[in-house]
Structure 1
Amino acid sequence: MRSLFRSAPRRSGTGTHGRFLFALGQCVPFVLALLVIVIELTPAHFLYTGPLLTATPALAAVTMGPRGTLAAAAVAVAVSVTTATYNQAWGTQQVYTNFLALFLVSVASVTTSSAVRTRRKNELDQVRRIAAAAQEVILRPVPARLGPVRVAHMYLAAESEAQIGGDLYEAVQTRYGVRMIVGDVRGKGLPAVRAAAAVLGAFREAAHYEDDLVEVINHCAAALARERAVPGAFDQHALVEGFVTALVAQVPDGPVVEVVNRGHPPPLVLHRGRVQTLTPTCPLPPLGLEDVIADLPEKADSFSFVPGDRLLLYTDGVIEARDPDSAFFPLPEAMEAVHVRSPQAFLEELHQKLIRHTHGYLADDAAVLLVDRLEEA
């Protein structure tokens, strides 16, 4: 399995509002320094501003790293020198006391900020290693060649949090053809892992003995229902979130691909340089939400998939990846712009486009399965 944990800058907060508050917090130390300048260089200089400058590096240490804290301390020292010179206060005990306090607070703030950042980075790296190991236990490597197709796969880990995600995929060769599944559990953490493991286990078993593709995904839904019914496996919040968007696909001997889509982003087929979306004829609910529809489909949708075509199965972490202007990643256009023959090289270039689009930041895990239809012998 290709699992990528990239050292993208972390963002604090949730969405635009959280980023705004974080940026505002970083401005506070410098606003305080500006306020001191205003007070000391105006008739209001009779106010005692020493504590404000002393607090500047301490406040910077809360929202910035060692460099930001040093910058805030340097600004505070520059302001102290400027105001002491302007007010002709050199030689007074108050000035030297302020400088001593500022020096001590600055050293303590830089040291603390550096230690906290190092400890947090080590803890996060450890959690990510555990998350990667857990994902590898569930997501087995997919063979590069399965019957009439070549397969490449990639798993991209989100940087927004160190929780294990619930993206899943699998491809197996059966007597009915090559069968694949791609899914995404709504939620994070261990409940998502349990749900993903239940769905994948059911698929790996049913794919080999069920001749009907609809029955294969029905087995996955039943396994998820059993997992959700286990006492203590899901808390109340996880039960609300723990549905799974999923699709199963089958590539038989003929030039078609059969798909049953349960609320998942539709697959894309690259045919002669143009991308086609395999839209389901009837929208269906995700696994775990079967109660919202009375009649489930009795057969899979069938689409053209001829030799030379390239099929892409993916999770919503790909198409919902945003750039700094909140624009979604244009997956179809990105696929059409990649001109390499190897499936793995194709995914590598697609991955680079995704990273450039998001400036190295992924808000959600992303799983991708690429399937090439080979020329008939």
Structure 2
Amino acid sequence: MRAPLRSRPGPGAGHHQVLFFIAECVPFAIALVVLTIELTPAHVVYTGPLLVATPALAAVTMGPKGTLAALGVAVVVSVITATHNDAWGGQQVYTNLVALFLVGAASVVTSRAVQTRRESELNQVRRIAAAAQEVLLRPVPARLGPVRAASMYLAAETGAQIGGDLYDAVQTRYGVRMIVGDVRGKGLPAVRAAAVVLGAFREAVHYEDDLVEVISHCGEALRRDAALAGAGAAGDDAFREAFVTAVVAQIQEDATVELINRGHPPPLVIGEGSARCLTPAVPLPPLGLEEFIGGPPGRLESYPFAPGDRLLLHTDGVIEARDGDNTFFDLARAMEAMRGRTRQAFLEDLRDALLEHTKGSLADDVALIVVDRVDRSDPVRGR
């Protein structure tokens, strides 16, 4: 599932917010300038057209309420300045007020229409993003052979449904196979790379008996698409340079889990004792950087995973999350503290602990798969 998240703005959002705030202040700044001119000896300057422009400018960046507020401020300033300068006897004051009301009414109607259109477009984008997530990052099945599983995705960027993290879990004739990965970079190039790797994984897991070949297919698919991007526009530079850290796991009937890790944070297992980090004996580079593999493309490494044990596959958005003192989130300790919870409750509590640690502002996306090994004879336990 994709969990709700108080997330941070995306890259450059702070700069855009400042510019937007400045734009919103312009109509009121104009009214202040007019008021200053009219209440000083500089009132010989004709300021009427400036006030007429304020609601029109407000309609560009503010909704109907903001436009009405700008119109109200302009009317008040007009009345104050006309009274202060004894100008009520002249036709110009009334002409300015009529123009102000006409422009103001048109601006309110326009701002309302613009707001309605923007809301409609935003809702459409959200529906498309939700549909894309269902295809790209679908929740893992709750029951997969000898294991029970659950997943969660937290997008760090405001408004995002999906990003550069990826996961999946599939029941195959070779056992339960899972992948968790993280694309270098952000935005649409990262989503594209994630889609390429997931597509290759979902195809290869069903016909490749060797898990090393499965992850090799993912790397080859990424390189092929990078080559296609190289023949395209310059805008594809970010994708051509993308690489993906990933860990692929295989769980069969015996009490072990087999892993091949391509530069990804190692999974954790917890049973009766403390959480164990399944660190690979031979580090391998991420997908897309196969030229740095000096020998064979890697080998499976096997770790104990007995009934009652819990396996957690995650991305570096968890272990690299920091608090105000720049202290990293202690995932192993959090996992131990949540021992005994159902899978969904574990993920929700882990999400809450992560948000509490970071004060609700993640610096990177988070993808999680939690897997419990159970006996085949056991009924489905929890959610």
- TM-score class, shorter-chain normalisation, is 0.7 to 0.9
Distance apart, 1:339 and its partner CA:
7.6
The 3 A distance-change label for structure 1 pair 13 and 203 is closer
Partner of 1:223: 221
Partner of 1:41: 39
Distance apart, 1:180 and its partner CA:
0.3
- Residue identity in the other structure for 1:77: V
Paired with 2:326 and 2:131, the residues of 1 have a C-alpha distance of 32
Distance apart, 1:122 and its partner CA:
1.2
Which is worse superposed, 54-63 or 305-314?
305-314
Partner of 1:124: 122
Partner of 2:244: 244
Distance apart, 1:164 and its partner CA:
6.9
Task: Give the share of equivalent positions with the same residue, in percent.
Answer: 64
| 3-state SS of paired residue (1:169) | strand
Partner of 2:212: 214
Partner of 1:299: 299
1:51 aligns with 2:24: no
| Residue of structure 2 aligned with 1:71, choices 66, 69, 72 | 69
Paired with 2:24 and 2:104, the residues of 1 have a C-alpha distance of 16
Paired with 1:331 and 1:58, the residues of 2 have a C-alpha distance of 53
Deviations 1:202-258 (A, max 9, x none): 323433454543332112112333344458986442542443332212334455544
Paired with 2:342 and 2:362, the residues of 1 have a C-alpha distance of 25
Paired with 1:30 and 1:12, the residues of 2 have a C-alpha distance of 29
Contact 2:226 2:241 in 1 (8 A): no
Matches within 5 A, 1:340-351: 341-350=341-350
Partner of 1:373: 373
| 3-state SS of paired residue (2:205) | helix
Partner of 1:105: 103
Q: TM-score, normalised by structure 2?
A: 0.76
Contact 2:230 2:240 in 1 (8 A): no
The 3 A distance-change label for structure 1 pair 73 and 283 is farther
- Residue identity in the other structure for 2:312: L
- Residue identity in the other structure for 1:78: V
| 3-state SS of paired residue (1:286) | coil
Paired with 1:327 and 1:98, the residues of 2 have a C-alpha distance of 58
Paired with 1:274 and 1:71, the residues of 2 have a C-alpha distance of 61
Partner of 2:17: 19
Deviations 1:32-67 (A, max 9, x none): 222222222222222222233222222222222222
Paired with 1:88 and 1:263, the residues of 2 have a C-alpha distance of 78
| Structure 1 segments unaligned to the other structure (5+ residues) | none
Matches within 5 A, 1:351-370: 367-370=367-370
Partner of 2:260: 260
Partner of 2:286: 286
Paired with 1:362 and 1:15, the residues of 2 have a C-alpha distance of 15
RMSD: 4.3
The 3 A distance-change label for structure 1 pair 128 and 366 is farther
Paired with 1:62 and 1:273, the residues of 2 have a C-alpha distance of 61
- Residue identity in the other structure for 1:246: A
| Residue of structure 2 aligned with 1:84, choices 66, 82, 85 | 82
Distance apart, 1:371 and its partner CA:
1.8
Paired with 1:322 and 1:106, the residues of 2 have a C-alpha distance of 49
- Residue identity in the other structure for 2:373: R
| Structure 2 segments unaligned to the other structure (5+ residues) | 378-383
Deviations 1:338-364 (A, max 9, x none): 688332343345556777889999897
Partner of 2:380: none
Contact 1:124 1:162 in 2 (8 A): no
Paired with 1:231 and 1:13, the residues of 2 have a C-alpha distance of 23
Contact 1:329 1:354 in 2 (8 A): no
Paired with 1:207 and 1:19, the residues of 2 have a C-alpha distance of 45
Q: TM-score, normalised by structure 1?
A: 0.77
| 3-state SS of paired residue (1:117) | helix
Partner of 2:312: 312
| 3-state SS of paired residue (1:313) | strand
Partner of 2:180: 182
Contact 1:225 1:288 in 2 (8 A): yes
The 3 A distance-change label for structure 1 pair 108 and 268 is farther
